[in-house]
Amino acid sequence: MSDGIGNYPKFIKKNTMSAFATSQLPTNINTLERLGAWVGLTMANINPTLAVNEQSSTDPTKVCQVAFFRASDNSLRLTVRLSLPIDSTYSAQTKKFWENAQEISNVVIPTAFTTN
């Protein structure tokens, strides 16, 4: 079980990672919205069953989740949810907050996600 402060469940190994090079980002991702969708869809694809107990009394929750829904204005929407471990010493550090996000897997990004 994770206590949410750096103690990892046995199925999340600290210091593993899904390697990423900016050259893998498809060139047609040119907005933060497209980047957010790409990250969510890629992470959910490579980690389809990875889960963590976010609270001790609940069932495990998938670390990466995406869902589509139709809004009241009839537009199709994408929801992205990521549960990322954060370095427990983040408040004492001077680096950018996102640099404290810790890796959750070591799965290679499929080619279908690195091309237009």
Name the domain count of the chain.
1
State the distance between the two ends of the chain, measured CA to CA, in whole angstroms: 39
Task: Examine residue 53 and state whether it is found in any structural domain, yes or no.
Answer: yes
Instruction: Write out 81-99 in H/E/C secondary structure.
Output: EECCCECCCHHHCCCCHHH
Give yes or no for a contact between 18 and 107, defined as CB atoms under 8 angstroms apart. yes
Domain containing residue 91: 22-113
Q: Is the pTM of this model over 0.75?
A: yes
Q: Cα 16 from chain centroid?
A: 14
Task: Examine residue 43 and state whether it is found in any structural domain, yes or no.
Answer: yes
Is pLDDT at 2 greater than 70 in this prediction? no
> pLDDT digit string (tens) for 16-61?
567 788 889 999 999 999 999 999 999 999 999 999 999 888 899 9
Task: Examine residue 101 and state whether it is found in any structural domain, yes or no.
Answer: yes
Task: Examine residue 102 and state whether it is found in any structural domain, yes or no.
Answer: yes
> Helix (H, G, I), strand (E, B), or coil: what is residue 55?
coil
